[in-house]
Structure 1
Amino acid sequence: MSRIGKRPITLPAKVTVELQSLQLTVKGPKGTLARQLPEKVALQQADNVLTVVRQDESRTARERHGLVRTLVANMVDGVSKGFERRLDIQGVGYRAQAQGNKLILNVGYSKPVEMLMPEGIQVVVENNTQVIVSGIDKELVGNMAAKIRAVRPPEPYKGKGIRYQGEFVRRKAGKTGKK
């Protein structure tokens, strides 16, 4: 039995869950999320507790049990608290700027890199070098943060680039001159 799949999901106040056939909709103070659930897994609601139940003991049901529980728990957390990823920009002259739903990165290329944020994602820039990506969909927030990091990933010699906050970049020694 899946250890993750067995754990119940407690619904915070002001969060409602609707399930119509396999379409799950979660509404909360921050917004609404919807997702199509896979077959062979069902949701049961009792008071303010959701549990994920397998319909049989087939391989696909066992595979999806923990996955569905995690996806639903992330939806509940997203509409109640939201998610955020923080990125740090390191390098001389490297900086970021937010204009509406657009992020402009100056990270050593000949022209600035402009990135358009999808709907539901907010970007805030602090001190020109800290980018905060936030939203209610954990998958979208993580995906957008990864795309921003991919513009200029941190390099191991000088440590310049865009990295997640708290990410450790292993440094390498450079070339040594001839003696």
Structure 2
Amino acid sequence: MSRIGKKEIIIPNNVKIEIDELKISTEGPNGKLSYSIPKFIVLEHINNRLKVKTTSNEKKIQALYGLYRSIINNMVLGVSQRFEKKLIISGVGYRSYLEGNRLVLNLGYSHPIYIETPENISIEVENNTNILVSGIDKQLVGETAAKIRSMRPPEPYKGKGIKYANESIKRKVGKAGK
């Protein structure tokens, strides 16, 4: 049995959950999410708690048990309180700004990089070097932040590039001269 899968999901008062046969929908103050559930996952909704169970003790099913519990928990958290990732751009001349619904990055290349903002995701730029990616879908927020970071990952010598706010870059010593 999965240790994570055994934990109950506590549902806040401002979140509504609808469970169909193979689908769960959550609705809260920040929006609405839905997700398809396989046949081997059973959900029990009692008062303000949700319990995830399996129909089989097969090893493959048990491996996915905790995953589906985490996905459902992230849905509940997302519609009640948004997820966000903060990115920091460091480097001389590196900057970013919003142009309509797309992010424009100047990262030392010969051309600017344009990144379209996905639906249900909001991107904010503070003082040209701080980017805040937020939304209700944890996977999409992380994916968007990773896509932005991949345009110029931080390098180990001077630390130039795009990094997460809580990320620490291991610095290397430069070339030693005589």
The bucket for the TM-score relative to the shorter chain is over 0.9
| Offset from partner CA, 1:55-110 (integer Å, 9 cap, x none) | 12111221121111100000000000010000000000111101232100011011
CA–CA distance in structure 2, aligned partners of residues 169 and 89 of structure 1: 13
Instruction: Give the drift of 1:13.
Output: 1.3
CA–CA distance in structure 1, aligned partners of residues 125 and 8 of structure 2: 37
User: Match for 1:10: what amino acid?
Assistant: I
Task: Say which SS state the counterpart of residue 93 (structure 1) adopts.
Answer: coil
User: Match for 1:141: what amino acid?
Assistant: V
CA–CA distance in structure 2, aligned partners of residues 41 and 2 of structure 1: 13
Task: Say which SS state the counterpart of residue 131 (structure 1) adopts.
Answer: strand
Instruction: Give the drift of 1:40.
Output: 1.0
CA–CA distance in structure 2, aligned partners of residues 163 and 68 of structure 1: 29
Q: TM-score, normalised by structure 1?
A: 0.96
Task: Say which SS state the counterpart of residue 115 (structure 1) adopts.
Answer: strand
Instruction: Give the drift of 1:132.
Output: 0.2
1:45 aligns with 2:49: no
Shift >2 Å, 4+ stretches: none
Instruction: Give the drift of 1:14.
Output: 1.8
Q: How many residues align?
A: 178
1:15 maps to which residue? 15
2:104 maps to which residue? 104
CA–CA distance in structure 2, aligned partners of residues 108 and 84 of structure 1: 26
Structure 1 residues 28-67: aligned runs within 5 Å: 28-67=28-67
- Equivalent residues of 1:41, 1:64 under 8 A apart: no
Instruction: Give the drift of 1:176.
Output: 2.3
> Matched residues, percent identical?
49
Q: TM-score, normalised by structure 2?
A: 0.97
| Offset from partner CA, 1:3-51 (integer Å, 9 cap, x none) | 1111101111121111111111111110010111123111110011000
**Structure 1: gaps of 5 or more residues:** none
CA–CA distance in structure 2, aligned partners of residues 93 and 150 of structure 1: 18
1:120 maps to which residue? 120
**Structure 2: gaps of 5 or more residues:** none
2:89 maps to which residue? 89
CA RMSD of aligned residues (A): 0.9
CA–CA distance in structure 1, aligned partners of residues 173 and 58 of structure 2: 52
Task: Say which SS state the counterpart of residue 151 (structure 1) adopts.
Answer: coil
CA–CA distance in structure 2, aligned partners of residues 57 and 99 of structure 1: 52
CA–CA distance in structure 1, aligned partners of residues 31 and 59 of structure 2: 34
CA–CA distance in structure 2, aligned partners of residues 48 and 88 of structure 1: 38
* Structure 1, 62-71 or 143-152: larger mean CA deviation: 62-71
Structure 1 residues 154-173: aligned runs within 5 Å: 154-173=154-173
